[in-house]
């Protein structure tokens, strides 16, 4: 990792980041975060008089913290002896080495909250599934899996929609100690196969289609399904390929020549769900990296990751029994696991499968109002798009009633300060909780605090038990507010079990996270960010997409926050281009209909960027494009454009949702 000068440019600073939200004391004292801090004070006589003191205590007493956390969040399992072994060795450390927990048992726990999930989707009426019904579904699936010979450690994969049936399949497998992997039905065959073939699934589940702005994509999915089945070698085992129907009842379905769900379930009847005695560190999920820089990594996560998730849900999101929680996600994104495991905290989860702006931008907020959602999660890009929709049509505001929402969560990319302003201009009662982590840890490094303030442009805090720091180019903690690299210096329960197919020494795993100049015992996450004196943070983008003009290192988010707020621009992408031994910034913009990029607009863009940032941020190249390449989860792909501009082959085009747009960038290649 080449060390370059870090410029101390950041989105906000302690002096310039006003407090936008502060919890009322009548609410704050009821939060689980406040109650947990009081517990630590009373039980351990610790002087944790605020969040930063509590965080410091949690990382200085890791084993104790996670043991207390297990009890506080009410995780079902068998907690034995040591909470943490080999703390000094990030890769060799082990949480709860002789303890047992089953993720499904926790998610299916008895609860006074009788509703498990509420499903909505394009082409579908709302459907409610009780906890009793979900347990019945899981029981029948469990029996069917056993009849097929599925057992602990086996892998089962799905190309599935975000439905209650998909959740039931996942929980049935987890109950047996088997391992689940999924992607969404909009993946192409090559993208599915390059992921699933690495884990050798014993069975696969396939959705029979999905909707795109009201259009049923059944025939397209059927064509893809046939290719997937053939390439994964299931042509002679079609009874191990099961169709999960998604099309609404009564409509003409896509006929796939595989086993129907009804046939797979046979004549089994609901009975008590049996739970395998799975160790805290037994695998439960295999997640896949985006694959934008090569073959997707197969990241294995453990049943014990649930402890981290329950901590985040209850302490950092204040999820309470009976709360309605809704995160807009697909089954390909880690936020699907993050949402579904809220069942373990006795929440009712809302599922939605479809376009979030069809038939209009009020779709998701209307669901929040209809169902009384308390926790609402989306991507930062969604919030930006909602703001722009409201600017174009102010009357839309009357349909965006989110009075009952207590917290809005944003992830996927940095939430720019202007979008904090937008949210608080219209919904000042809501705690805006920007979060940042990743598939790598199936959780977060930094997130919200319902017992703390929200500052403009800042993520509220580092997660409890997460020894997160921002280091400068000398490998020391950066001064408050200065930009640097996100690292984690101590182990945590949601660290991956490893990579599927790695060697005994975990060479690929070590190379991915512990191979930086910071040393072999520091998790290097690859995010460019800042940590402020009050404890808030800001993320400026991925380190590998960081721009280095003149040897000065700056984050792409600095530029995006300026240009995407300009009325002429709907979206932008910037990357570094090598020229004459230096790097210049290339900026590509998508403009509103009727707007054309001319020299006057180029000059305005450069002027706005220099006035808001520094001269180092000013692009040398500004060009207009019709679209921006992005992953299946909606993240823009700066590195793919950089490769095209340098006449280099993009390594994994199948990871992109719209790979065809790369063609447009070829004309700008150097």
What does the block give as tokens for 261?
Answer: 């769900």
- Please give the Cα distance from 48 to 34 (Å, whole number): 11
- Please give the Cα distance from 192 to 197 (Å, whole number): 8
Alpha helices in 341-462 (DSSP H): 363-371, 380-392, 417-426
- Residue of 114, 163, 471, 94 lying closest to 304 (CA atoms): 94
- Please give the Cα distance from 184 to 186 (Å, whole number): 6
Query: CA triplet 108, 110, 113: central angle to 5 degrees?
Result: 100
What does the block give as tokens for 651?
Answer: 């390594």
Q: Provide the CATH number for the domain around residue 141.
A: 3.40.50.980
Are 175 and 102 contacting, i.e. CB atoms less than 8 angstroms apart? yes
Q: What is the pLDDT of residues 225-252, one digit of tens each?
A: 999 999 999 999 999 999 999 876 555 6
User: What pLDDT does residue 252 have?
Assistant: 62
Please state the pTM of the whole predicted model: 0.87
Peptide bond into 304 cis (omega under 30): no
Q: Which residue, chain included where needed, has tokens 């709360």?
A: 323
What does the block give as tokens for 207?
Answer: 């959705």
- Please give the Cα distance from 305 to 280 (Å, whole number): 8
Is 374 inside any structural domain? no
- Please give the Cα distance from 283 to 304 (Å, whole number): 9
- Please give the Cα distance from 230 to 467 (Å, whole number): 46
Q: How many domains does the chain have?
A: 2
**Plot region of 295 (φ>0 → left; ψ -120 to 50 → alpha; else → beta):** beta
Are 508 and 477 contacting, i.e. CB atoms less than 8 angstroms apart? no
What does the block give as tokens for 465?
Answer: 């038990």
Enclosing H/E stretch for 138: helix 131-147
Is 360 inside any structural domain? no
User: What pLDDT does residue 4 have?
Assistant: 38
- Please give the Cα distance from 180 to 199 (Å, whole number): 10
Is 339 inside any structural domain? no
- Please give the Cα distance from 308 to 238 (Å, whole number): 38
Q: Which residues of the chain have pLDDT under 50?
A: 1-15
Among positive and negative, which fits the CA dihedral 555, 561, 562, 568? positive
- Please give the Cα distance from 227 to 188 (Å, whole number): 9
Beta 407-411 vs 436-438: how paired, if at all? Answer: unpaired
Q: Provide the CATH number for the domain around residue 576.
A: 3.30.300.30
- Phi and psi (nearest 5°) for 301? -115, 155
- Residue of 270, 255, 19 lying closest to 141 (CA atoms): 270
Final residue of a domain: which of 232, 265, 298?
Answer: 265
Is 183 inside any structural domain? yes
* DSSP code at position 49: -
Is 166 inside any structural domain? yes
Q: Which domain holds residue 148?
A: 129-265
* DSSP code at position 127: E
Are 585 and 614 contacting, i.e. CB atoms less than 8 angstroms apart? no
Is 511 inside any structural domain? no
Q: At what angle do helices 380-392 and 417-426 cross, to 10 degrees?
A: 60
Determine the length of the chain: 670
Final residue of a domain: which of 244, 265, 286?
Answer: 265
User: What pLDDT does residue 91 have?
Assistant: 95
User: What pLDDT does residue 657 have?
Assistant: 87
Task: Give Cβ neighbours of residue 167 (< 8 Å, ≥ 6 apart).
Answer: 117, 134, 340, 351
Are 21 and 454 contacting, i.e. CB atoms less than 8 angstroms apart? yes
Is 634 inside any structural domain? yes
User: What pLDDT does residue 301 have?
Assistant: 99
- Phi and psi (nearest 5°) for 300? -95, 125
User: What pLDDT does residue 222 have?
Assistant: 93
Burial of 39 (0-12, 13-18, 19+ CB in 10 A): middle
Q: What is the pLDDT of residues 511-521, one digit of tens each?
A: 999 988 899 99
Q: What is the mean pLDDT of the chain?
A: 92
Is 558 inside any structural domain? yes
């Amino acid at each position: 990792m080449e060390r370059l000068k870090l410029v101390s440019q950041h989105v906000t600073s302690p002096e310039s980041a006003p407090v936008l939200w502060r919890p009322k004391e009548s609410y704050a004292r009821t939060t689980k975060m406040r109650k947990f801090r009081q517990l630590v004070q009373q039980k351990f006589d610790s002087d944790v008089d605020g969040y930063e003191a509590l965080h410091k205590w949690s990382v200085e007493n890791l084993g104790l913290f996670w043991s207390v956390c297990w009890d506080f969040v009410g995780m079902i399992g068998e907690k034995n002896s040591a909470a943490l072994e080999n703390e000094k060795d990030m890769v060799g450390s082990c949480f709860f080495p002789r303890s047992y927990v089953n993720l499904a048992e926790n998610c299916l726990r008895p609860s006074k909250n009788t509703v498990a999930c509420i499903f909505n989707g394009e082409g579908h009426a709302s459907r409610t599934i009780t906890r009793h019904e979900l347990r019945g579904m899981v029981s029948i699936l469990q029996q069917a899996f056993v009849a097929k010979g599925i057992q602990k450690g086996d892998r089962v994969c799905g190309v599935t929609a975000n439905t209650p049936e998909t959740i039931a399949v996942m929980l049935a497998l987890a109950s047996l100690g088997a391992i689940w992997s999924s992607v969404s039905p909009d993946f192409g065959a090559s993208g599915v196969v390059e992921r699933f073939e690495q884990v050798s699934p014993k069975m696969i589940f396939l959705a029979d289609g999905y909707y795109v702005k009201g259009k049923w994509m059944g025939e397209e999915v059927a064509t893809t399904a046939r290719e997937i089945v053939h390439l994964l070698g299931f042509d002679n085992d079609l009874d191990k390929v099961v169709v999960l129907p998604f099309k609404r009842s009564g409509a003409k379905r896509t006929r796939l020549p595989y086993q129907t769900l009804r046939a797979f379930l046979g004549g089994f009847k609901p009975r008590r769900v049996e739970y395998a005695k799975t160790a805290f560190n037994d695998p439960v999920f295999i997640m896949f990296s985006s694959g934008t820089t090569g073959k997707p990594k197969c990241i294995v996560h453990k049943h014990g990751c649930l402890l981290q998730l329950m901590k985040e849900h209850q302490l950092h999101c204040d999820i309470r029994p009976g709360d309605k929680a809704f995160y807009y996600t697909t089954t390909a994104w880690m936020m699907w696991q993050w949402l579904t495991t809220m069942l373990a905290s006795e929440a009712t989860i809302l599922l939605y499968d479809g376009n979030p702006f069809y038939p209009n931008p009020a779709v998701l907020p209307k669901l929040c109002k209809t169902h009384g959602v308390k926790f609402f999660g989306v991507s930062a890009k969604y919030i930006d798009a909602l703001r722009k929709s409201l600017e174009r049509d102010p009357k839309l505001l009357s349909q965006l009633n989110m009075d009952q929402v207590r917290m809005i969560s944003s992830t996927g990319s940095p939430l720019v300060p202007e979008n904090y302003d937008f949210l608080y201009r219209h919904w000042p009662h809501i705690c805006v909780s920007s979060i940042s982590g990743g598939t790598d840890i199936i959780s977060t490094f930094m997130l919200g605090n319902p017992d703390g303030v929200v500052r403009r442009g800042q993520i509220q805090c580092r997660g409890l038990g997460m020894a997160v720091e921002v280091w400068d180019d000398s490998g020391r903690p950066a001064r408050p507010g200065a930009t640097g690299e996100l690292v984690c210096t101590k182990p945590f329960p949601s660290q991956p079990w490893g990579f599927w197919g790695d060697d005994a020494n975990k060479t690929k795993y070590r190379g991915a996270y512990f191979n930086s100049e910071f040393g072999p015992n520091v998790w290097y996450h690859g995010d460019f960010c800042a940590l402020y004196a009050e404890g808030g943070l800001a993320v400026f983008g991925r380190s590998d997409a960081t721009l280095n003009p003149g040897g000065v290192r700056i984050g792409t988010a600095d530029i995006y926050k300026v240009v995407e707020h300009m009325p002429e621009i709907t979206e932008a992408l910037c990357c570094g281009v090598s020229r004459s031994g230096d790097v210049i910034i290339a900026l590509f913009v998508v403009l509103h209909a009727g707007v054309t990029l001319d020299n006057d607009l180029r000059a305005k863009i450069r002027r706005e960027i220099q006035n808001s940032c520094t001269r180092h941020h000013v692009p040398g190249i500004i060009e207009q494009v019709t679209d921006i390449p992005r992953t299946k989860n909606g993240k823009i792909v700066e590195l793919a454009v950089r490769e095209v501009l340098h006449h280099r082959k993009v390594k994994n085009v199948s990871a992109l949702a719209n790979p065809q747009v790369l063609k447009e960038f070829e004309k700008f290649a150097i």
